[in-house]
Structure 1
Amino acid sequence: MTANPGCGRRTLLDACGADKDAIATQAGFAWPFGQSPFAIGRGKSFEASITEHGGAKLLTLLRDLLDLPLPEVAYKPVDEVGGNTQRELRHQHTCKLLLEAARGGDWPGTLFDHPMLRLTVGGVHVYLEPDVIAFKVKDLFYVVEIKSFPVIDRQADPDQVAAAIRQASVYVIALREMLSAHGLDPAMVASSVILVTPKGFSNTPVATLTDARKQIAMLVRQLRRADNVSDLLNEVPDDTTFDLRHNDLGVATRAATDLVNHLLRIEARYRPACTQHCEMAALCRDEAVRADSLDLYGTGVSDVFNGVDSASTARALAAGTRLPSPDQQDVARTLRRAQRLLDELGGVA
């Protein structure tokens, strides 16, 4: 939801606690996604090397990056509470520790390892788990995201970097939401995030402080536009259900066509990046293909063709075989001009 907060289908499925993987499989649109076991193993190993021994390596990086003056620090793992890993309990414990740190209590804290935050998306509480939150002495919280993709000659894969910054930005928003809910200044959370990555293909870590203001502002706008669950329900027929109708043996018996028809009642917001994080990606992509939607090509394309929903409509406007609506006038002129240039180039060739 946090990666694509404008998607009504994902919002509603998350709100009702549906098993999206089981639903996609029963609908005939199973979608395996995520990193390879090797990549996951490398990522876990790298993160463990950064946070072991009370975050010793991380602390060294933060001293250099943030000019931390503390001779000693307090390190607090928050991945469990007395052996209990239940999310809400961890969230409450995280709130207690971070609020105490923010208010300058007896234990101000410095490093919080795997805290459990919560963000409101489309009227639904979503739990989030940053790698680390570092509390700087000068009254600022910094979100630290540890990633295992390499940085070579100070360059990393731009898509991976963008995804990491976006992920960290979501944590910034969640932390600010928590502080605001308890009467504290959300500006105590820095708008710059810290990415810790390997240098080259070694396990030598390097930390980078990155300005995430644009990403944070964009995500805040998207979250504000996210449909409220009650509004979504008002637009869905009363008999809509995602029940898989398991028999006495626990086998799902619902017909795929019936399940798909109910899923398609809810408007989706497909993006190519959905294939990296959503179990429903195959269904939504199939729907976008059948609709000839420009969403297949990403936000960079769909934003340029503002007011034009499909590739066939764009082609018709470019060829002049379709009259543009009032909100398509500018796009139509641009498309016709581009078509003329292509025709001229084709004639020369």
Structure 2
Amino acid sequence: MRGTALRHQLAELRGADVPPRPLDARALAALAANPGCRRRALLDGAGVDKAKLADALGSPSGFGQSQFALTRGNAFEAKVKADGGTELLRLVRERLGGGPEPVPGEARTPDLTAAGPEGRTARTALALREAAADAGAWTFLEHPMLALDVAGTPAFLEPDAVVVHPDGTWTVVEIKSFPMIDGSADAAKVGAAARQAAVYVLALERVAAHLDPPPRIGHRIVLVCPKDFSNLPAASAVDVRKQVSVTRRQLDRLTRIEDIANALPEGTCFDVTHPAEELTEAVEAVPATYAPECLAACELAFHCRDRARAAGAVTSLGRGLRAELGGLTTVDGVLAAAHGQAGDPRDPAVAALRRAAELRAEALDFQKGVAPVCR
């Protein structure tokens, strides 16, 4: 009953007859990177389309991949998975081992089709159990469906592939369209792929926990990218233990979506067909934690940045600076503390700001030809 009531409550927040937008691993990794943002947690948990919401608020983000990049990525993924995943399994064995050379056409490729995400999740879990019970052969699961509890609600996730080795190990495979040149790819893009794969590893752990004995889930994922400037696949093993640990800890810190929703004013709705004034009021009713990193990960980033700047919030200058300023949360408060107009001088942040202001004044006086006071 409780889950049914929450689903009904989230449906009311989306708006009448508005289908939920699935929470994918990319969004979940970004949410885990900013666990203090209740706004994103609620909107993602309710399945609100943040891109359409940003347009309706007058702050379009232009966030996401171009159609050309999506088409190129889909074509490359289809090439890698062709012939029952023969080439993909060869790359996995080449990087991680775990069994004999895969024989073309002999790998198990279970049918994972089912009705709805819940059905596909159950079918994937069954296929993984069957592969674990009958080890000794390669098993290739194409676009399996996994579930992960996020702030009290289930998120359904779809990795590119999961491979079960003959020795029983489960490995996540990520297929990306950015190039791997001379055996290495762009570090920032690899890092983003690792954070995304960490979410899949956590979801696999949930399935493995129900098996006895639980299978081993590889702490290294296989990243497959185009080789150099060709369309030929190349692979790299990426250790994601750190990303898994961080993501697990951050997801545990998320405030339950039910608690956030219950704190909203009655009648709050994020239906993009409503007037912009009503949408703005609804969005502002949910606290946000903006940081410049949001610009690369959230469709509402431009809206939240404008609000943070208007409020003079120091979060708009970066998380690192915000952490150093302690209890000083606004730019006006920081300037007042630096000039001795506010703040406790025993506070390390206030003392550092005042010393910095003194040094700046001395530097400006020196430029004007005024001799600094000797200390």
Residue in 1 that maps onto 2:305: 285
Tell me, yes or no, if the aligned pair for 1:196 and 1:207 is still in contact at 8 Å: yes
Residue 213 to residue 106, structure 1, CA distance change in 2 (3 Å): closer
Residue in 2 that maps onto 1:36: 66
Structure 2 unmatched runs, 5+? 1-26, 368-375
Q: Which moved more, 1:294-303 or 1:22-31?
A: 294-303
Residue 298 to residue 19, structure 1, CA distance change in 2 (3 Å): same
CA radius of gyration, larger in: 2
- Amino acid in the other structure paired with 1:146: I
1:228 aligns with 2:256: yes
| Cα deviation, residue 91, structure 1 | 1.3
| Cα deviation, residue 289, structure 1 | 2.2
Say which SS state the counterpart of residue 163 (structure 2) adopts.
strand
Tell me, yes or no, if the aligned pair for 1:55 and 1:75 is still in contact at 8 Å: no
Say which SS state the counterpart of residue 126 (structure 1) adopts.
strand
Residue 238 to residue 85, structure 1, CA distance change in 2 (3 Å): same
Residue in 1 that maps onto 2:92: 62
Tell me, yes or no, if the aligned pair for 1:100 and 1:107 is still in contact at 8 Å: no
Residue 347 to residue 264, structure 1, CA distance change in 2 (3 Å): same
Q: Distance in 1 between matches of 2:141 and 2:80?
A: 13
Q: 2:349 aligns with which of 306, 319, 331?
A: 331
Residue in 2 that maps onto 1:247: none
Say which SS state the counterpart of residue 171 (structure 2) adopts.
strand
Say which SS state the counterpart of residue 38 (structure 1) adopts.
helix
Tell me, yes or no, if the aligned pair for 1:270 and 1:281 is still in contact at 8 Å: yes
Q: Distance in 2 between matches of 1:107 and 1:238?
A: 57
Q: Distance in 2 between matches of 1:136 and 1:28?
A: 50
Residue 258 to residue 136, structure 1, CA distance change in 2 (3 Å): same
Q: Distance in 2 between matches of 1:189 and 1:320?
A: 56
- Amino acid in the other structure paired with 1:331: A
Give me the CA root mean square deviation. 2.9
Residue 199 to residue 277, structure 1, CA distance change in 2 (3 Å): same
Tell me, yes or no, if the aligned pair for 1:8 and 1:266 is still in contact at 8 Å: yes
Residue 108 to residue 141, structure 1, CA distance change in 2 (3 Å): same
Tell me, yes or no, if the aligned pair for 1:193 and 1:211 is still in contact at 8 Å: yes
Residue in 1 that maps onto 2:222: 194
Q: Which moved more, 1:330-339 or 1:1-10?
A: 330-339
Say which SS state the counterpart of residue 98 (structure 1) adopts.
helix
Say which SS state the counterpart of residue 188 (structure 1) adopts.
coil
Tell me, yes or no, if the aligned pair for 1:132 and 1:145 is still in contact at 8 Å: yes
Structure 1 unmatched runs, 5+? 245-251
Residue 44 to residue 281, structure 1, CA distance change in 2 (3 Å): same
| Cα deviation, residue 64, structure 1 | 1.4
1:51 aligns with 2:86: no
Residue in 1 that maps onto 2:280: 260
Residue 205 to residue 30, structure 1, CA distance change in 2 (3 Å): same
- Amino acid in the other structure paired with 1:29: S
Give the TM-score taking structure 1 as reference length. Answer: 0.83
Tell me, yes or no, if the aligned pair for 2:170 and 2:215 is still in contact at 8 Å: no
Residue in 2 that maps onto 1:16: 46
Say which SS state the counterpart of residue 111 (structure 1) adopts.
strand
